Structure 1
Amino acid sequence: MTDGFGTITWWGFSPALDLQEKDLVVSLNEMEINEKENDELKILLVGSGDLRHVLTSIARSYRYQRRKLHFYILENALELYARDMLFLALSLETPKRMGLQEKTELFLELFGNLLVRKQSCEYVEKMANEFIKMVTDEDYLAKKLPMLDLSQLKFKERDFLEGIFKFWRNPSLEIFDAEKHWDMRQRQYLGPRYDCRLNAYDWDYHMKLVNKEAEIIHKHEYKSWRNSGIAFEPREATYDIPNKTLASGVIVNQGGEKVLRRGYWGDILVSPYLAFGIQSEEKSFFKKSNNMYTKLSLHVAEYNILSLFHEIAHKEKYSPAKTEEKSKTETESPGGATVTEITEEEEISEQTASQENEEPPSNPLEQPYECLPLEDVRITFLPLSSLPDLPKKTKYKNCFHTVYFANSLVHLLTPDVATIFRDSANVILETARYMLELKDDQEVEFANKIVGLAKAAGCQDPGKFDAKSSNFIAFKYQRPSS
C-alpha cells in the first residue's frame, strides 16, 4: 500500500459541519417537514468516516426550531461503525462517571492517536463488553443507547461487529503492534525518502498543508504526528499502549494466496487535525503574534470538543467566561484555574478524595454505563455499501432532506440513487481540498467532476465556487417532473 490515505477513513478530511446550518443551500422551511405529524429531518451520510457532522449537528440542534433528527450512516467498513458506537457512547457519558475535561481528553486521544494511555485502553476494553451486549441484545441496546438503531445491519455484519469488540477487549498488547505497522506504512509510502523522512514531512507541511489555510496546525504538531502517529497530547502522560480501535483488516496477496491481514491501514499523510482542529466559533484561537498563531490545533480541537459536549448536556452555548464566573461563585474562591478545567477537575478531585476514604476504592467507571438523554435524535447504521440498493426499497423513496457524500464515495451519486432524495433536498459533496497528494489542477478537475455528477443526478447548478478553497459544494436537488 503506497498511498498516504490508506484503505479506511478513520477521520474525515474536512472540518465538521452543522447539517442544520441555514447557509448551506436550502432553508429547512422549504423542505416540507410536516411538524403536525412530527416528521423527522432525515439526514444521510455516505462515507463521512467519523461522527463529526453528527455530533456537531446534535450539539447545536437546540439553536433551531425543535424537530426530530434521524441520521442514517453508511460506510464501507464495520470498524467505522464500531468507532462510531464508541464515540457516541463516550460523548453521552454522564458526569457521574466522567467529568467534561476528562471526557474531552479521552475523545481526542482515542480519535487521533495511534498510542494511548493505559487508562484510555482500559476504558475501551470495559466499553467493548458493553458493546458486545448491545450488538447481541436489542433490548440491552434500547436500554443503554436508545437513540441507536442496528436493526438494518445484516446478521453477519452484527457478528463481525461482535468480533471487533472482542478484539478490543483482548488485553494482550501483542495482537496489534501499532508502532511496527505505522513504521511499515511510512517505509512503503516514502520509499527511498524514508531515511530523510523528517525533511519529507517538513516539505509536505510547508508546500501542501499550509497552502490549504490550515496554518493553525503547527509544523511541530504535524511532523510529530507523521513520525509517531500521536496527534493529541492534552496532558503530560505516557502514550505507549496501542489504540486497538485503529486496527482494521485488509486483503493482501501473500505467496499467490489472498489472506486477511490486520494492521494500521488508515491515513498517514493528512492528519486527524482537520475534523475538529482548524475551525472554531471561538475566533480568539486564531490570533497572531509576530505573524505566528498563539495557539495550536490541539487547543482548537480541545475547545471544540469540550463545547460540543457542553452543548449536548446543557442545551446552551459554551461560554468559558461564564463557566469561570460560576465556578468562582460556587467555590467562593478568587482564584485561577483554567476555564476549561476548573469545574470538572474540582469535581474529579472531590470524587477522588471520597474514593480514598472508601473500602475498597471505587472507580466511577465501574458503575453501570448510562447515557445522557438525547431527545428527538435517532441514528441508524445501514448495511455496508448498500447505497445502490436503497432506491429499490419503498421506505427510502423521496426520503432524505439532507445528503452528505465524502469525496471517497461521491462516485456513488447517480440518477437512480437520487430517487431517495426529497424535493428541494440539500446535497453536500466533499471536495478534495485536503487530499494532499493531489495537485491544484487535479483538485479543480475533481470539483468539476462532482459538479457534473450532481447535475446529472438532478441537482441544480451551484453557481460560481472556488474549487481550491471550498471544503464542500452544496446543491439543491430538484426532482425531474414526470
Structure 2
Amino acid sequence: LLSLPPEHLQKDPASPCNILCVHPGDITSVMMTMSRLGRRPEREKVSVSVMEDTPEGLARHLLLLSIFLDTDLGPRECTEMFLEVYGNTMIRKQTAAYVESKVQTLVRFLTETMTGDAERRMAELVDVSHLKSKQRDAIEKVLVSWSCEVETDMAAWREKRLRAYYEDRYDYRKNLFDWDYNMVFKDIASVIHKKLFLQWREEGIAFEIRESKYPEPNRTLASYAEGKEKGFAKMKRGFWSDIVQSPYWALGTSAEDASLFQVRSMQHTKTCQHVCEYNMYAMLHELSTGDRFKMPEATRESYGRSFWSGLGALEVLEEDEEEDPEKDRLDLLAGVPAWPTS
C-alpha cells in the first residue's frame, strides 16, 4: 500500500499517511504494509481504513489480523495457522480450537472488555470507534457463529455451490479444472502447481500441513447471501467464497526472493505454497525484528524440500510427534512437473 514514492505523499512528516481500502476482501496487503513500515523512515505514522459491505468480511479481517499479531505463536505455527484459516474450507481440530479461542478474544475486544494482553494489543493497533453499535453487534454475531457448537456443514455447502456453478457440466468438472489451469493459470502464474490447484478446486484444501487430517469446517468462510426461496427473498447462510481463482494469488505468486521462482528442466523448483510460507515468515520476521528476511542458502539449494527444511538454526516450531516432517507433500510435488513436458 506504500508503493508510491515519497514525493507523491504528503510533505509534512508529522501528519499520518491515510490509506482507504474499499472492499479489499483480503487483509494481506495491510499486513505487508505493517511489516514494511520500517523501510520508510520518513513516514512515522500510517492510518489504514478498511471498508467492507458485510460484517463477515470485517470479522474475518479481524480474525486473520489477530492471528498475524499473536506473539504467543512461533513463526512456523503462526504461518501454518494463518494459511490454514485463510485458504482451507476444512481445518485441523487444533486449528478449530484455536479459532474459537481467538473468537472469544475478539468479542471481548469489540465489547471493550480488556481482560488480557491479546485484547490490549488489538486495541493499540485497531480502532473500531467509527463503527456504530449496530455494526459492532453484527460483527459480534458473526464471531459467535464461528463457535464449534454451531452446526456448519461446509463440505455439503461447497458441493452445492459447485453443482450450482457447473450445472450440467458438474460430472465433468475435473476436465474443466484442467482446462482452466492449462489455458489460463499456467501462463499467468506457472508457480501455482497444477496438482495443488486441481486439489483445491475439487476439495477446497489449498494449504496442507504435512499429512494432517482436516475434519473440522472452516466456519470463518460461512456467510449470508441474498436469494429466493418459494418466491420470497431470503438471506441464506452457506459457503459463498471463491471456487475458481484459488487463494494463492495474494501470497503465492510474488516474493522478494527470486530463487523461489527458479525453473529447471521446464518445471519450478518451488511451489506456490513455498512462496506463501516464505512471504508469511518474511512478514513476521520483519515485523518483530525490523530487518528484511534473507532466506538461507541452504533453503535456496534444497530443491524438492519444503520451505521450512532449510531454515536450520532459525527458531521454528517443534514438530508434533504424530506428524512426520519428512512426509511433507511439498517435498513430493516440487519434483513433479506441473504439466506434461513432452
Q: Taking structure 1 as the reference length, what is the TM-score of the superposition?
A: 0.61
Give the direction of change, closer, same or farther, for the CA distance of 1:228–1:341 in structure 2 (3 Å limit).
farther
**Cα offset for 1:158?**
0.5
The one of 111, 126, 132 equivalent to 2:101 is 126
Tell me, in whole angstroms, the C-alpha distance in 2 between the residues paired with 1:341 and 1:171. Answer: 41
What secondary structure is seen at the aligned counterpart in 2 of 1:133? Answer: helix
Question: Which one-letter code corresponds to 1:292 in the other structure?
Answer: Q
Q: In the alignment, which residue of structure 1 is the partner of 2:12?
A: 34
Structure 1: which 5+ residue stretches go unaligned? Answer: 1-18, 325-336, 354-482
The change in CA–CA distance for 1:192 and 1:280 in structure 2 (over 3 A counts) is: same
Is the counterpart of residue 338 in structure 1 residue 338 in structure 2?
no
Within the alignment, does 1:21 sit opposite 2:3 as a pair?
Answer: yes
1:47 aligns to what? Answer: 23
Deviates more, 1:230-239 or 1:114-123: 230-239
**Per-residue Cα deviation, 1:11-36 (whole angstroms, up to 9, x for no partner):** xxxxxxxx2224xxxx323433312x
Q: Which has the larger radius of gyration?
A: 1
Residue 48 (structure 2) pairs with residue 78 (structure 1):
no
1:23-172 pair list within 5 angstroms:
27-35=5-13, 38-65=14-41, 66-94=43-71, 97-137=72-112, 143-145=120-122, 146-172=124-150
Matched ranges for 1:167-186 at <5 A: 167-172=145-150, 175-186=151-162
Secondary structure, counterpart of 2:49 in structure 1: strand
Match 1:197 to one of 146, 170, 173: 173
Q: What percentage of aligned pairs have identical amino acids?
A: 33
Counterpart Cα distance in 1 of 2:26 and 2:86? 9
Confirm or deny: 8 A CA contact 2:296 2:311 kept in the other structure. Answer: no
Calculate the aligned-residue CA RMSD, in Å: 2.1
Q: Distance in 1 between matches of 2:281 and 2:227?
A: 40
Alignment partner, residue 400 of structure 1: none
- Shifted more, 83-92 versus 138-147: the winner is 138-147
Tell me how many residue pairs correspond in the alignment: 309
What does 1:311-322 align with in structure 2 at a 5 Å threshold?
Answer: 311-321=286-296
Distance, in Å, in 2 between the alignment partners of 1:341 and 1:166 is 40
After TM superposition, give the deviation of residue 142 of structure 1 in Å: 6.8
The AA in structure 1 aligned to 2:158 is W
Give the counterpart letter for 1:93 in structure 2: D
Task: Return structure 1 stretches of 4+ with deviation > 4 angstroms.
Answer: 138-142
Distance 2:264 2:130 in 1: 52
C-alpha deviations, 1:16-66, integer Å up to 9, x for none? xxx2224xxxx323433312xx21011111111111111111111111124
Task: Name the residue aligned to 2:331.
Answer: none
Report Cα offsets for 1:182-236 as digits up to 9, x if no partner. Answer: 111111111111111111100111112223x211001111110000011111322
Shift of 1:339: 3.2
The structure with higher relative contact order (CA 8 Å, sep 6+) is 1
Q: CA deviation at 1:320?
A: 2.7
- 112-121 or 228-237, which deviates more: 228-237
**Does structure 2 retain, via aligned residues, the 8 Å contact 1:176–1:242?**
yes
**8 Å contact kept, 2:96–2:148:** no
Matches within 5 A, 1:259-408: 259-321=234-296, 338-340=309-311, 342-345=313-316, 348=318
Distance 1:142 1:241, change over 3 A: closer
Contact map agreement 2:224 2:236 (CA 8 A) in 1: yes
Asked if 2 retains the 8 angstrom alpha-carbon contact of 1:114 and 1:229, the reply is yes
Inter-partner Cα distance in structure 2 for 1:31 and 1:270: 33
2:181–2:194 Cα contact (<8 Å) kept: yes
Q: Is the 8 A contact 1:126 1:169 kept in 2?
A: no
Deviation for aligned residue 1:138? 6.7
Per-residue displacement from partner, 1:307-358 (whole Å, max 9, x unpaired)?
111111111011232999xxxxxxxxxxxx823475334x647xx99xxxxx
Q: Which amino acid aligns with 1:157?
A: Q
Three-state SS of the structure 1 residue aligned to 2:189 is coil
Amino acid at match of 1:28: P
- Normalised to the residue count of structure 2, the TM-score between the two structures is 0.85
Is the alpha carbon distance of 1:153 and 1:138 closer, same or farther for their aligned partners in structure 2, counting shifts above 3 Å? farther
Q: Is the 8 A contact 1:41 1:69 kept in 2?
A: yes
Structure 1 pair 323–168 and aligned structure 2 pair: CA distance change class (3 A) = farther
Q: Is the 8 A contact 2:16 2:47 kept in 1?
A: yes
Equivalent residue, structure 2, for 1:244:
219
Contact 2:106 2:119 in 1 (8 A): no
Which letter maps to 2:178? D
What is the Cα deviation at residue 259 of structure 1?
2.0
The residue identity in structure 2 corresponding to 1:181 is: W
Greater CA drift, 135-144 or 304-313: 135-144
Query: Does structure 1 retain, via aligned residues, the 8 Å contact 2:88–2:218?
Result: yes
3-state SS, counterpart of residue 250 of structure 2 = helix
C-alpha contact (below 8 Å) 1:234/1:298 kept by paired residues: no
> What letter is aligned with 1:217?
I
Residues in 2 aligned to 1:247 and 1:150: alpha-carbon distance in whole angstroms: 23
